[in-house]
Chain A
Amino acid sequence: MTNLLWRFRGLALRGLCTSSAAAAVEESKKSKAAVNLFSAINQALHIALESDPRTYVFGEDVSFGGVFRCTTGLADRFGKHRVFNTPLCEQGLVGFGIGLAAMGNRAIVEIQFADYIYPAFDQIVNEAAKFRYRSGSQFNCGGLTIRAPYGAVGHGGHYHSQSPEAFFCHVPGLKVVIPRSPREAKGLLLACIRDPNPTVFFEPKWLYRLAVEEVPEHDYVLPLSQAEVIRQGTDITLIAWGAQLAVMEQACVEAEKDGISCELIDLKTLIPWDKETVEASVRKTGKLLVSHEAPITGGFGAEICASIAESCFLRLEAPVARVCGLDTPFPLVYEPFYMPTKNKILDTIKATVNY
């Protein structure tokens, strides 16, 4: 129970929605309603299917709305030939999606849990990622978008909790995107669907119901490969994505009480990532901390730390720091121990700032 509570607490504090004041004013003129993350995804899928008749949504149990309700109402509205259940076979459904995309369609594939994406690994890594390159751009499957719920939920154990993003970040030709909130999810998912490259979109399932914020009802996209400074600060740069930002946010609030000013950046797109924004921040603060739920060794945090150590070496005032999942399979009863918690982050912020 403890582990559930600490996540809830932070989310209740704020929805983690931030955007520039000007954009906020502009948006307030248009209609928007407070919705949760799975509804925001659902809106994006409605818009995608509505705005392009050559768009398809499919996967295991998608017809009745999906096990996380993201595809509710789509089959009724757009028909069973555009929104459908597939046989239980991830390699089949991604392979099918690649073929569909290669014919100029938008194929939006749902993998029921990110933990079950591995049967499709070959199709994603050897096929989707290299489709354009190996054909000298005669062919591409850029219309492919793979959606998968990822991350901890408090009771998921080995196979309902994983964060497999780093595997896919190691594959040139794919884009990997992870949203932090409903509004972000809608705009980034639409961007992925319309991006002319195959994308893997991991949805923080912890936030499906929990994260609620005002989401514009209209069609909009948020830029890929563009990070966002969601909290300005001067003492240390913190990088995260997806659900982990809520935890980082709590650490920032606590650190502030100790007079430490943290700059928090949502990376959003993991590859190709927005190095410039991160570098600019680290040049200012001289310190870097990256946090993710996936095991620390070989996680995407390692790539960010190595890059920044290369490019900002002379500006760094402390070793780059990582607070991540442990190098174990995701454990059920030990979940609170495994997780990169607020206090682990806070301790590391202090150690880095006082280095």
Chain B
Amino acid sequence: MIILDAIIQGILMGLLFALVALGLTIIFGVMDIVNFAHGEFLMIGMFTAYWTSLLLHVDPLIALPTSAIVGTLLGVASYYWLVKYLLRGPMIAQLFGTFGLMLFLRYLAQFLFGTDYRIVQKGLLVGKSLSLGPFILDWTKLSAAILSLFAFTLVYYLLHRTKLGRALRATALNKEAASYMGIKTDRMNALAWAIGGGTVGIAGGLLVNFWYVYPTVGLLFVMIAFASVALGGFGSIKGAFFAGVIIGMIEMLFPVLGHLIGSDFLGPHFKFTLVYFAYFIIVVLRPQGLFGWKH
């Protein structure tokens, strides 16, 4: 029972991980660029929801659209004001470019908000839980999971069922060929950053309901997102989804197993070590990730 509970909690958390990983994998898929500032986008999404709900006295869930909008704008601005110029430089410039963006946003947040840990104190769902037989689910986590799944599905639909989405995928597969089709690849790049920023902004808005927000909060989550993207296959949307959920489950399951067999080795403080361990094993066995690249 305790295992089943851990699995359920893991899936809930994993759906949010998947949404965080989604933007990273799309940006990589379309541009072959790793957005090191992705965790900071998440942090900004969290702060946006936090301040909106605090200052406007609305529920953090109602503040969610502002997180989405701020995330989208942040993505687009990053593309047009920074990444676009980096593309002309060598690979290494692209690497350090988004790394620089990460530092900039992180310390900007520190400058503006200080290093305090803040948490949403009150909200419709905060502190409430749902009992389903023997399982007790926090409403905040449950709604975050459901809305993550919804956002993920929406983006999946956009990419696979619309003309715009197909153009984006074509750009990811082969930029040159896409341009010969009349696709404006520069706009597709911007679109990838818009989706990337928007989805991770939403993830931040959901996360802030049950997680402390502080300027370096993105680090933990972006590490998980990197693992998800590598595990699922760079640029793979399905891969990000399943890898996110798998990592969520590993993260919840291992401490429980450790507890059951009475071993400290599998204790909570090691849970992410195990995530990376699982990741290493899979990367050795299947370097292209679960779903292969760019699917």
Q: Do A and B bind each other?
A: no
Which residues of B does A touch, CB under 8 Å? none
Which residues of A does B touch, CB under 8 Å? none
